[in-house]
A and B are shown apart, each in its own frame.
Chain A
C-alpha cells in the first residue's frame, strides 16, 4: 500500500460513487433478486410466489439434464483449456524463437481475439453444415461424422469452434510471459544445459507458471460463459441437449421455460463453482508457483 495517502474524506466517496452506484443498481440488486428467485416458486399461472426453501436446488439435482450439462461443461472447459493453452504456448515459443518478423507474427496471430464468439459460431456453422460444410464432409468421409445425431461428433464441432479464437489470447499472454523472463536466466541455463527441449521444460516452463495459471482461469471462464454465443449459433444443444453448458441451460430454462426459480438456483450453483475455482487457485496453486 501507499505510504503517502490522502485522509479519508467525502471526496473519496465522490470518486467511488459512480462505480459503486452502477454496481449496486445493476449488479447487487439483480444478485439479490437471483437469490430471491432461487428460493421461491411461482404458481402455474404466475399469480403469486411462495417461499420453498431448497426445493429449486433439489429439483435441479434430481434433473438428469442438469448433470448432462454439468458433464459437458466440465469436459468442454477442460479440453478447450488444454488445446488452446498448448497451441498458444507452442506458437508463442516459436514466435519468441525467431529473430526476424516477430512483430509481424504477433499481428497475424492476435486478431482472432477480437472476433465475437457469436460471429465465430456463425462462421463455424458454414464449415459444419451438411450442405456445403468442408469440415463436415471431411470428417464424414473419415468416420461418418454427423453432429446432428452423434454426441461425440457434436463435442468435436463445438471444441473446434470454441478453441479457434481462444488460441489467440493464449498466444499473446504466453509470448508476453516469455519476453518477461530475464535474458541472464536464459543465458545461464544455456551454459548448464545444452539440450534445448530439456531446458524448456526445466527452466522456462516453470518460470511461465504464473502466466499458465492465469490463462487456465481465463480459459475456464471463457468456456463457462463466453461460449454461450458459440453454442447458440451452432448446435443449440444438439443432438438433444448434450451440448448445453450450465450457463446455456440456465438461460434456456429461464427464457423458454419461464422457470425463474430453477434458473436462479442454477445461477447460484454456478456462482459457487466459480468461487470454488477462484479460491482453489489462490489457496493451492498460487502458493506453489515461482515468481521471478
Chain B
C-alpha cells in the first residue's frame, strides 16, 4: 500500500516535470498554426489553428520578402553540412589522437596529454576574435570549412575515447600482435569496431553541438549564403506566426536525433553495458 502511494507520488512529480518541458513548446507550436491576426488579438494559443501548411511552406520556401537572399530550406542545408562536418571531423581526429595517447609508450606522454586536454578549458567564446582574425588571414570566412573546423578544435571526444580505450583488456592487443597485426591493422580491425557504441554516442553529441552553434556562425558568415538555422533566428523578420514556425522547425532535427538515438547516446556516454 505505501509502495503504491510513493509510486503514485513519483508519477505525479514526473508528470509535472514533463508538463514544464512540453507546455511551452506546445504553445509555440499551436500558435504557429494560427494567423498573425489571431495571435495579435488573442495572444498565444493552446489549441491548433488551420494555417499550418500555409505558414510552414511560406517560411521554408519564401525568398525575397521574408529573408532577403536565403530561404529557410537553405539554412537547414547549411546547418546539416556544418553539424555533420563537425561530428565527423572531431570524432575521427579524436579517435586517432586517443589511440596515440593510450597505445604508445613515449617519454612525451604527459606533455602530449596536457597539450591536448588543457584546450578543454578554453572554449571558443574565450578566443572568438583572434579565431576570427586567423580565419580572415587564412581566407576562410564565409565557407563551410570556416564554419566547421574551429568548432571541431575540441578535445572532449578525445577524453571520452581515452577513457574507453583504457577499459579495453590488454589481452586484445597481445593476441592481435600474435596474429601479426601492426598498429594500423589493430586500430582499424580491432579497436574501431569495438568502439562502435562510443563512436555513435560522440557523433550524436558533436552533431547536436555543431547544429546548436550560434555565436560562431554569426561572426564568421557575412554572406547570407552560409547562414545556419540557429543564427538565422536572430536575423529573421516577418510576421509573428512565421517566426513561431521557424523556431519550431529549428528545434526538430536535434530533438529527433536525441530521441531516436537516445539508447546509443546514453550507452556511450555512461558506458552502460
Per-residue CB proximity of A22-59 to B under 8 Å, as 1/0?
Answer: 11011101111110010000000000000000000000
CB of A109 within 8 A of CB of B262, answer no
Query: With an 8 A cutoff between CB atoms, is B11 at the interface?
Result: yes
Stretch in A74-82, A99-107, A183-191 touching the partner:
A99-107
CB of B97 within 8 A of CB of A20, answer yes
User: Which of A15, A22, A132 contacts B44, CB < 8 Å?
Assistant: A132
Tell me the bound Cα distance from A94 to B13 in angstroms: 7
| Chain A residue contacts of B7, Cβ below 8 A | 97-99
| Chain A residue contacts of B126, Cβ below 8 A | 34, 247, 267, 270-271
| Chain A residue contacts of B100, Cβ below 8 A | 12-13, 15-16
CB of A23 within 8 A of CB of B25, answer no
Shortest CB distance A144–B (Å): 20
Tell me the bound Cα distance from A180 to B266 in angstroms: 13
Query: With an 8 A cutoff between CB atoms, is B77 at the interface?
Result: no
Question: Contacts A20-B116, A29-B134: A119 and B251 contacting too (C-beta < 8 A)?
Answer: yes
Question: Contacts A2-B103, A107-B259, A267-B127: A94 and B14 contacting too (C-beta < 8 A)?
Answer: yes
Tell me the bound Cα distance from A254 to B129 in angstroms: 7
Query: With an 8 A cutoff between CB atoms, is B223 at the interface?
Result: no
Query: With an 8 A cutoff between CB atoms, is B149 at the interface?
Result: yes
User: Which of A2, A119, A271 contacts B250, CB < 8 Å?
Assistant: A119
Shortest CB distance A3–B (Å): 5
Per-residue CB proximity of A138-156 to B under 8 Å, as 1/0?
Answer: 0000000000000000000
Tell me the bound Cα distance from A20 to B116 in angstroms: 7
CB of A115 within 8 A of CB of B255, answer yes
Question: Contacts A26-B134, A31-B127, A228-B215: A176 and B266 contacting too (C-beta < 8 A)?
Answer: yes
| Chain A residue contacts of B166, Cβ below 8 A | 1-2
CB of B170 within 8 A of CB of A229, answer no
Which size class do B's interface residues fall under? 35 or more
Query: With an 8 A cutoff between CB atoms, is A110 at the interface?
Result: yes
Shortest CB distance B40–A (Å): 8
Question: Contacts A3-B170, A108-B21, A117-B212: A34 and B130 contacting too (C-beta < 8 A)?
Answer: yes
Query: With an 8 A cutoff between CB atoms, is A11 at the interface?
Result: yes
Stretch in A60-68, A120-128, A201-209, A283-291 touching the partner:
A120-128
How many A residues touch B, CB cutoff 8 Å?
Answer: 86
CB of B105 within 8 A of CB of A8, answer yes
Query: With an 8 A cutoff between CB atoms, is A7 at the interface?
Result: yes
By Cβ-Cβ distance, the 9 closest A-B pairs, closest first, are A116-B212, A33-B130, A30-B130, A15-B100, A132-B43, A8-B106, A114-B254, A94-B10, A19-B97
* Contacts A6-B105, A254-B128 known; 13 new A-B pairs at CB < 8 A: A1-B166, A4-B174, A8-B104, A12-B100, A18-B97, A23-B115, A111-B255, A112-B21, A118-B231, A132-B40, A228-B125, A229-B212, A263-B129
Can you sample 23 A-B contacts with CB below 8 Å?
A1-B166, A6-B103, A22-B152, A23-B153, A26-B131, A30-B131, A30-B133, A34-B129, A94-B9, A94-B14, A98-B10, A107-B262, A108-B18, A114-B254, A115-B255, A116-B254, A126-B44, A127-B24, A225-B123, A232-B234, A247-B125, A251-B125, A263-B129
Q: Which residues of B contact A (CB under 8 A)?
A: 6-7, 9-11, 13-14, 17-18, 20-22, 24-25, 27-28, 31, 39-40, 43-44, 89, 92-94, 96-97, 99-108, 112, 115-116, 119, 121-123, 125-131, 133-134, 149-150, 152-153, 155, 158, 166, 170, 173-174, 177, 183-184, 187, 208, 211-215, 219, 230-231, 233-234, 243-244, 247, 250-251, 254-255, 257-259, 262, 266, 270, 272
